[in-house]
Amino acid sequence: MYERRKDERLKDFNEITVHVISGAENLPKGKVSYNYYENISASGAKIRGDIFLPVDTLLKIDFALKILNKQVTVIGKVKWIRIVIENSWYEADVEFVDTPYETIETIKNYISLKQKHIDLNPFNRWFGSTGKINKP
């Protein structure tokens, strides 16, 4: 299968704050209920929430990078949206755009440190960072 992603994604689950910058007319301006990301890379993330975000919607996303004790802000553009539960739960893939180099480097450092932690933790060899059993 052809992989279209620019960078490898780290399976991670963490809190975010999302604000709509521009998009469809009927979207609320300001903070929306997208509270988690499921994975992250230097070029994007998959986010979860309870509002349908049309493709090409621009978002300001604040990530809490706990092991670095930092918060970073990126601008993201919705690339695709998936309905998980109608009118209740959606997943959106967001590509980072117009994000400063320093912010991207901070995200890369976070991913690197998190990956090292996963690799060094024997529990993660069996269950992975998501808690699901890895098949040999």
Q: What's residue 69's pLDDT?
A: 86
Lowest mean pLDDT across 33-42, 73-82, 92-101: 33-42
CATH superfamily of 10-127: predicted glycosyltransferase like domains (2.40.10.220)
124: DSSP letter: H
Q: What percent of the chain has pLDDT over 70?
A: 71
Q: What's residue 123's pLDDT?
A: 54
For range 67-86, the mean pLDDT:
90
For range 75-80, the mean pLDDT:
94
Say which residue, 123 or 87, is predicted with more confidence. Answer: 87
Task: Tell me, rounded to whole angstroms, the distance of Cα 116 from its chain centroid.
Answer: 19
Q: Where are the domains of the chain?
A: 10-127
User: Rounded to an integer, what distance in angstroms lies between the CA atom of residue 58 and that of residue 7?
Assistant: 20
Give the pLDDT band (50/70/90) at residue 135. Answer: very low
9: DSSP letter: P
Q: What's residue 27's pLDDT?
A: 64
Q: What's residue 31's pLDDT?
A: 58
Q: Tell me the pLDDT of the chain averaged across its residues.
A: 79
Please name which of 86, 93, 75, 82 lies closest in space to residue 39, comparing C-alpha atoms. Answer: 93
For range 80-107, the mean pLDDT:
90
